Amino acid sequence: MARARALLRVFIAVKVDEPSLVARVRQLQEDLTRVGLKAKLVEPENLHITLRFVGEIPAEKVEALRQKLREVRHRKFSMLIKGVGAFPSISRPRVLWLGVDEGSAELSQLASMVSRAVDSLRLGLSKGSEEESFTPHLTIARLKAPLSPEARRIVENLAEAVFGQQHVDFFYLFKSDLSPKGPVYTVIERYALE
């Protein structure tokens, strides 16, 4: 029997690792947990803004993708993380996220460039609807149950709250390994912005 080709689950993202910003996110997660939030929290070391989720592709295609992403040219920029929201809505939340205020246009432009690079490789992936309507956001929790009234109040009160600034000097190609404790992200390559 032929051995199955190794598939790697990959995505392209900007890390959110500014210490003061990560501390604010962690504080919000703790506050929500304290008032009964039932969710899988995104670990501080995994905080990121996805530019493009690629999915599972053969290892040799990952090498082609590594090379292609080196052609992406974009200037460095800064983003302001502001506001809390939920997908698909606050009344039926499955994901809690923080928004991007300043820097949103630059993230969208970078995501578009990255998507063009991915699509040019014809990896046989179906285009997800998120590409057509890219909304920069930072996922902080995946909910297992509806928001408690207290958690909902916290989220609604922080709809316009500023969490902090993050300089974007790099974007990354990540490998994602799913484990019982949650995903483990490994950097395959880091790409410097100009």
Task: Write out the catalytic residue numbers.
Answer: 48, 137
Our CA dihedral for 141, 147, 148, 151, rounded to 10 degrees, sits at: 50
Q: Rounded to 5 degrees, what are φ and ψ at 91?
A: -75, -25
> Do the Cβ atoms of 69 and 191 come closer than 8 Å?
yes
* CA 184 from centre of chain: 13
Q: How far is 74 from 153, CA to CA, in rounded Å?
A: 39
176 DSSP β-pair partners: 185
Q: With CA atoms as reference, report the closest residue to 83 among 96, 69, 66.
A: 96
How much of the chain is helix, strand and coil, in % rounded to 5? 30, 40, 30
Q: Rounded to 5 degrees, what are φ and ψ at 141?
A: -160, 145
